[in-house]
Amino acid sequence: MNNSMITIKNVNKIYDNTTALHDVSLDIKQGEFIALVGMSGGGKSTLLRLIAGLEQPTSGSVTINDSSTDSLMRVMFQEDRLLPWMSVLDNLSFGSKDKNTKAHARQLLDLVELGDYANHFPNQLSGGQKQRVALARALMTDPKILLLDEPLGALDALTRRKMQDLILDICQKQNLTTILVTHDVEEAARMADRIVVMKNSTNSYEETCPKNRNVGQIGLVADRVLGEILEEPTLEKQTA
């Protein structure tokens, strides 16, 4: 039985005379957490936009192997994109006519540990709290696929770590297929089941991360991935 959720086959994306993606093929399983890493301009965000359906490939195909509606997939960006004139609760329930929407929104606010902030406005929240609200909003339609476009990039180290733990916990409990774009290889090594290095507009290297990894294993994975990105010897090779 094929348990793949997303199939990317021989994808190319060209803007004018610039090749953003070249012959990218990738199979992502249901419930898998994938991190896309690499230098700026390597194709990470372009690939995420194609998966999200925000753009179309020049050639090749991106197939979502599910017959659900467009509520199947949601994107969380680095910018929280909250409406400043609306309360937190109204930001989550905006646009829905379902009578149960606000109750569902309150449940999600509890899930992201902001249950007491339903009536606050965005300007009353910290950066980390705004991203928690943005995460709750992305979960409002009960998606099966969560796309994360550097959502933690602007947060301080402590808040970022707490958000990593929260996202991981939710993705695992809800069995979400998750794709994270990040410049932080340690973040990728800590969160992902599999890391895909995007370099020269294609997926040039993959690293499968150990389950229940410790700090040392995270460091070794991050070192190997960084070595592939920079084409430098890793710590493992230097000490061998």
**What is residue 21's predicted lDDT score, i.e. its pLDDT?**
95
Gap between the Cα atoms of 181 and 86, Å rounded: 29
Q: Evaluate if residue 125 carries a pLDDT over 70.
A: yes
Q: Residue 154 above 90 pLDDT?
A: no
178 contacts: CB under 8 Å, gap ≥ 6: 32, 33, 34, 145, 146, 147, 148, 167, 171
3-state secondary structure of 198: strand
Give the phi and the psi of residue 105 in degrees, each rounded to 5.
-60, -40
What's the CA gap between 237 and 233, in Å, rounded? 6
Architecture of domain 1-66+145-155+175-240: 3-Layer(aba) Sandwich (3.40)
**19, β-bridge pairs:** 14
> Predicted confidence band at 240 (pLDDT cuts at 50, 70, 90)?
very low
Q: Is the pLDDT of residue 220 over 80?
A: yes
Residue 95 has pLDDT above 50, yes or no: yes
Q: How far apart are CA 178 and CA 28, in angstroms?
A: 9
Mean pLDDT computed over every residue of the chain: 90
Q: Is the pLDDT of residue 1 over 80?
A: no
Q: What percent of the chain has pLDDT over 90?
A: 76
Angstrom distance (rounded) from CA 91 to CA 118: 9
This prediction's pTM: 0.90
> What separation in angstroms does the CA of 136 have from each of 92, 116, 143, 169, 175?
7, 14, 11, 13, 16
Asked if pLDDT for residue 57 goes beyond 90, the answer is: yes
- Do strands 33-37 and 177-181 pair parallel, antiparallel, or not at all (unpaired)? parallel
Q: What is the pLDDT of residue 235?
A: 53
Mean pLDDT of the region 30-49: 94
Task: Give pLDDT, residue 84.
Answer: 94
Structure token digits, residue 59 = 């050639």
Evaluate if residue 27 carries a pLDDT over 90.
yes
Task: Look at residue 141 and tell me whether its pLDDT is greater than 50.
Answer: yes
- pLDDT for 175 beyond 70: yes
- Determine the Cα–Cα distance for residues 126 and 186; give it in Å rounded to an integer: 24
Q: Is the pLDDT of residue 237 over 80?
A: no
Domain range list for the chain: 1-66+145-155+175-240
Helix (H) or strand (E) holding 34: strand 33-37
pLDDT value, residue 70: 57
